[in-house]
Structure 1
Amino acid sequence: MLNLPPRLGTRLTGAQFANLHTFAVAARHLSFTLAAEELCLTPSAVSHRIARLEQALEQRLFERLTRRIRLTAEGERLYQLVQGLLEELEEALQPDATATVSGALTLYARPSITQCWLVPRLADFQQRYPQISLDIRTGNEAVDFRARHIDLALLYGDGDFPGLASELLMNEQVAPVCSRQYAERHGLIDAPQRLQQCTLLHDALAWDHAAFDAEWQRWARRHDALAYLPSGGLTFDRADLCALAASNHVGVAMGRRHLVQPLIDQGQLILPFGDFEAAAGQGYYLVHPPREPVPVRVRVMIEWLRECVQ
């Protein structure tokens, strides 16, 4: 049996269309207050619109809980339908394939790859698509595509993103890095056993659910060097800060090539134990909610990012 959304008891009027739009915004935020801010209404007006829609559908769309709301099963089905229709409408309003692509696009990415790899390339995207209003947000927390209205995310991980569409954008390579001064002071060149007397620099949020020293542990297991790793060290919540600390003689970081290659080219970092090697199972992924069709503005961003790694 088909899992259909609830049906309106009356024809779709302008008022009901407004109610449906209000519902979609409230469902995305899971908050009447945030929906009111986006729609320039009062929370009371949002609540009244939702109540009128629920009355017309003869269905409860939200469960009103203490200090929060959540969608009912009927509300979730209706949200998926309305959101899909709005995206199809946006797609249809693009005049043709050769027309100027426009609209707002929110891209969420981890701070390190944003600063070291994405931002230096953005001038080209802006030149090609000046009518796209690009909003880049960064963070290490789990991505809430609905509440934060995120169109596309650039994430570092192993490709496991349940319930989301994803594709590998580029693989990563890793190797320990430090400044030449630090390597000479500790006699590190081709001597990983000397790590025992060093300070290790850790990205404690390397990927979702990673241990604070996950990158070092993986490298050490591949090189039979677990006994060389000192306990503790300094932890950061960004890989680029680990690299910056290493370039300032603080310790040894696990460098990701896409983030640290410019510092190596400039002589601020060296590879004391040899060249980069593949980061087992780890890479940068483009992730977004599954939807068909994918909006034009999102498609051009994905295509542009693919070009950047060719």
Structure 2
Amino acid sequence: MTQLWLKKCIYEFAEKHPNICIDLDVQNEKIDLVSKRVDISFRLGDLIEQDWVARKLWSIPFGLCASRSYIEKNGPVTHPKQLVNHRLITVNNDCHWKLVNQTTNEVFSDELQFQFSSNDVLLVRDAVVHGLGIAWIPTYYFHELNHDQHNLLPLLPDWQDAGKEVFIMYRDRDKRPMRVDAFIEHVSMWKNRFNMFV
């Protein structure tokens, strides 16, 4: 998320406030924000800290994707129930896929076996590009690619989920540092200008 698009928001803030020092720590795992002395955190999903303010920013849609070469070799997918016959790739902490047909409201949430997993979504996407299987990841990870160059295809576009929510979190203190309030305001304005999701 940070590497692909959220970094643009942070870079803009750095340009507007050159006297504020930024220490940007990108982690895939949940960390102790207090012991790490974190001012502000972005969280995807429900990993919300107690005693922190959490404001929803976006809801990120997820979708299925595979490489063109994988589909040509293993056949098309016309319904999620066919996923059990395919090699599947996932992010370590996202091992339960729930797909909802946006037209019929049919829900697919069967147990699936995964042949490849990583804690890094970019590595998951690259594994898909290399033809290792089908993944269920945020759609911006594959819509940003040139499909002809990378041979990466979205699958079953009618099947999505409610999306995972992205929150900005900060301590609920009476006297927050001005730098923190300035960044919160900047993110809010940037969100309104670049509301790329729901």
TM-score by length of 2: 0.80
Is 1:306 aligned to residue 188 of structure 2?
A: yes
Q: Deviations over 1:207-239 (max 9, x none)?
A: xxxxxx12x2x2279754445x64232111122
**Higher strand content, 1 or 2:** 2
Is 1:251 aligned to residue 133 of structure 2?
A: yes
- Cα deviation, residue 160, structure 1: 4.2
Structure 1: how far apart are the matches of 2:146 and 2:138? 11
Letter in 1 for 2:134: V
Q: Deviations over 1:147-189 (max 9, x none)?
A: 2111000011137432211100111111111112212222224
Q: Deviations over 1:107-132 (max 9, x none)?
A: xxxxxx12122224443222211111
Which residue of the partner structure matches residue 85 of structure 2?
197
Which residue of the partner structure matches residue 98 of structure 1?
none
Which residue of the partner structure matches residue 170 of structure 2?
288
Which residue of the partner structure matches residue 42 of structure 2?
154
Which residue of the partner structure matches residue 142 of structure 2?
260
Is 1:184 aligned to residue 64 of structure 2?
A: no
What are the residue-to-residue correspondences of 1:102-141 with 2, within 5 Å? 113-141=1-29
Letter in 2 for 1:124: E
Which residue of the partner structure matches residue 270 of structure 1?
153
- Cα deviation, residue 273, structure 1: 0.7
**Higher helix content, 1 or 2:** 1
Which residue of the partner structure matches residue 195 of structure 2?
none
The verdict on how the C-alpha distance between 1:142 and 1:255 changes in structure 2, with shifts beyond 3 A counting, is: closer
Structure 2: how far apart are the matches of 1:286 and 1:171? 12
Structure 1: how far apart are the matches of 2:172 and 2:86? 46
Which residue of the partner structure matches residue 163 of structure 1?
51
Structure 2: how far apart are the matches of 1:175 and 1:129? 37
Secondary structure in 2 matching 1:284: strand
- Cα deviation, residue 275, structure 1: 4.8
Compute the RMSD of aligned alpha carbons: 2.7
Unmatched segments (≥5 aa) in structure 2: 193-198
**Higher RCO structure (Cα 8 Å, ≥6 apart):** 2
Unmatched segments (≥5 aa) in structure 1: 1-112, 207-212
The verdict on how the C-alpha distance between 1:296 and 1:260 changes in structure 2, with shifts beyond 3 A counting, is: farther
Letter in 2 for 1:219: L
The structure number with the bigger radius of gyration is: 1
The verdict on how the C-alpha distance between 1:277 and 1:137 changes in structure 2, with shifts beyond 3 A counting, is: same
Conservation of the 8 A alpha-carbon contact between 1:186 and 1:197: no
Identity of aligned residues (%): 20
Letter in 2 for 1:118: L
Which residue of the partner structure matches residue 23 of structure 1?
none
Conservation of the 8 A alpha-carbon contact between 1:152 and 1:286: yes
Structure 2: how far apart are the matches of 1:300 and 1:278? 34
- Cα deviation, residue 265, structure 1: 6.2
Structure 1: how far apart are the matches of 2:155 and 2:63? 9
- Cα deviation, residue 262, structure 1: 0.8
Which residue of the partner structure matches residue 145 of structure 1?
33
